[in-house]
């Protein structure tokens, strides 16, 4: 049995999590739009690619754990209860399908207009991870608004 205080804290953190994930997804997509808008000569600097890899890794960790940064085991368990786990699984499945469809689209595109390996992987990973993150954020926001 949990404490009511933990439930209320998890409620507050859960709402905050869905908002943070939503904003993170928008920032992530906006950053990648800027990346593709820049010239290929300056696009693939080590700093830019390093920042992208770190952000992708962070998002993947957030999606895999539901928020490994949250403190307190009780609250973390409540934050990742049945509905959140289901929302996370559905979002991961969506991310998988977006990744596959994007990979196919990139493959077809490369027949007509060759892409570098970096460009192709960047597009595939960005859309796959971003779609999963935004899907989870929206599912959680919707669940919090019901009632």
Partner 1 sequence: MNRLREARDHKGWTQAELAARVGVSRKTINTVENRVFTPSATLAIKLAKALGMSVEELFWIEP
Give the footprint of partner 1 on this chain (CB under 8 A): 1-4, 6-8, 10-11, 14, 77-79, 81-84, 86, 143-144, 146-147
User: CB of residue 110 vs partner 1: minimum separation in angstroms?
Assistant: 42
Instruction: Look up residue 80 and give its DSSP letter.
Output: T
User: CB of residue 126 vs partner 1: minimum separation in angstroms?
Assistant: 30
Q: Is the dihedral of CA 112, 105, 41, 34 positive or negative?
A: positive
Residues 6+ apart with CB under 8 A from 49: 118
- Count of helix runs (H) and strand runs (E) in the chain: 6, 0
Residues 6+ apart with CB under 8 A from 77: 2
3-state percent helix, strand, coil for the chain, nearest multiple of 5: 85, 0, 15
Q: Name which of 111 and 146 has its Cβ closer to partner 1.
A: 146
User: CB of residue 49 vs partner 1: minimum separation in angstroms?
Assistant: 38
Q: Name which of 81 and 109 has its Cβ closer to partner 1.
A: 81
Q: Name which of 88 and 122 has its Cβ closer to partner 1.
A: 88
Q: Name which of 10 and 133 has its Cβ closer to partner 1.
A: 10
Contact criterion met (CB below 8 Å) for 66 and 13: no
User: CB of residue 145 vs partner 1: minimum separation in angstroms?
Assistant: 10
Q: Name which of 75 and 127 has its Cβ closer to partner 1.
A: 75
User: CB of residue 87 vs partner 1: minimum separation in angstroms?
Assistant: 10
């Amino acid at each position: 049995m949990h404490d009511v205080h933990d439930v209320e804290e998890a409620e507050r953190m859960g709402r905050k999590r869905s908002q943070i994930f939503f904003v993170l997804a928008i920032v992530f997509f906006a950053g990648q739009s800027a990346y593709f808008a820049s010239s290929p000569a300056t696009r693939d600097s080590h700093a830019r690619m390093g920042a992208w890899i770190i952000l992708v890794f962070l998002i993947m960790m957030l999606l895999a754990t539901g928020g490994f940064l949250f403190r307190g085991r009780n609250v973390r368990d409540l934050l990742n209860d049945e509905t959140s786990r289901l929302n996370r699984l559905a979002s991961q499945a969506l991310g998988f399908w977006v990744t596959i469809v994007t990979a196919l689209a990139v493959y077809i595109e490369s027949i007509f207009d060759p892409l570098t390996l970096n460009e192709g992987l960047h597009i595939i990973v960005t859309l796959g991870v971003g779609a999963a993150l935004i899907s989870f954020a929206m599912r959680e926001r919707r669940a919090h608004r019901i009632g």
